[in-house]
Structure 1
């Protein structure tokens, strides 16, 4: 991560803090937009962290995964952010490392799915003999 990237992040964070300090007296009418603003800021923070820890190829793959299955992409992003915040990532994540993480998430989902078996039986189903009664 270069000094220019860090400086951009600092400026963005400083802007966010200034916006937060300037808006507490806005009144009750802005609560919905305040929540939207909060969600937007969280999304920007997530993308900034992911841009710092992912190589471009890995970020592209994660974007393609999001198009197919958004929940899986979100799970992988959450794991990556957790690893980054805990200091377990020493370098940027490669596409191969992202594939390994995807396999781990997929395996976890399979294990969780194996615990839940749902059997749905139809009541009052049709029988071949029922057709003869209508004649």
Structure 2
């Protein structure tokens, strides 16, 4: 079992334990609150992203959901702080993504 799988199992188990402690009504309220927050994020992203940029973000969400969530949070924070003056184009989103992705180190091994 990989570290990612183990972490996901732990997260699920902790969530189950939290829901059992809260009771049935609290779990439903938590889900409703979470759905409301996601709807607000989607609304803000629709307002600040052009369609091409939104498509790119959706593609990223399918391959790297955690990274996409981090990018969405960053974009929402920029919008709420008033730093976004106009809609973000696909080129601008690419530039933002290149800044957020950690640079990979390249190793060259030469044999003698």
- TM-score, normalised on structure 2? 0.69
1:68 to 43, 56, 63: 63
* Separation (CA, whole Å) in 2 of partners of 1:81 and 1:29: 31
Q: Identify the match of residue 79 of structure 2 among 79, 84, 89.
A: 84
Tell me the equivalent position of 1:49.
Answer: 44
Q: CA deviation at 1:71?
A: 1.3
Q: For structure 1, list consecutive stretches of 5 or more residues without a partner in the other structure.
A: 1-27, 115-135
- 1:30: which partner in 2? 25
Which gives a bigger RCO, structure 1 or 2 (Cα 8 Å, sep 6+)? 2
Deviation sequence 1:70-109 (CA, Å, 0-9, x none): 11111111111111011000000000010011111103xx
Q: Which runs of 5+ in 2 are unaligned?
A: 1-22, 106-112
Distance 2:30 2:71 in 1: 25
Task: Compare CA radii of gyration and give the structure with the larger one.
Answer: 1
Q: How does 1:88-103 map to 2 (within 5 A)?
A: 88-103=83-98
Alignment match of 2:101 (pick from 99, 106, 110): 106
When the two structures are superposed, what TM-score results if normalisation uses the length of structure 1?
Answer: 0.58
Number of residue pairs aligned between Structure 1 and Structure 2 = 83
User: Which runs of structure 1 show a deviation greater than 6 angstroms over 4 or more consecutive aligned residues?
Assistant: none
Give the RMSD, CA atoms, in angstroms.
1.6
Q: Residue 101 of structure 2 aligns to a residue in which SS?
A: helix
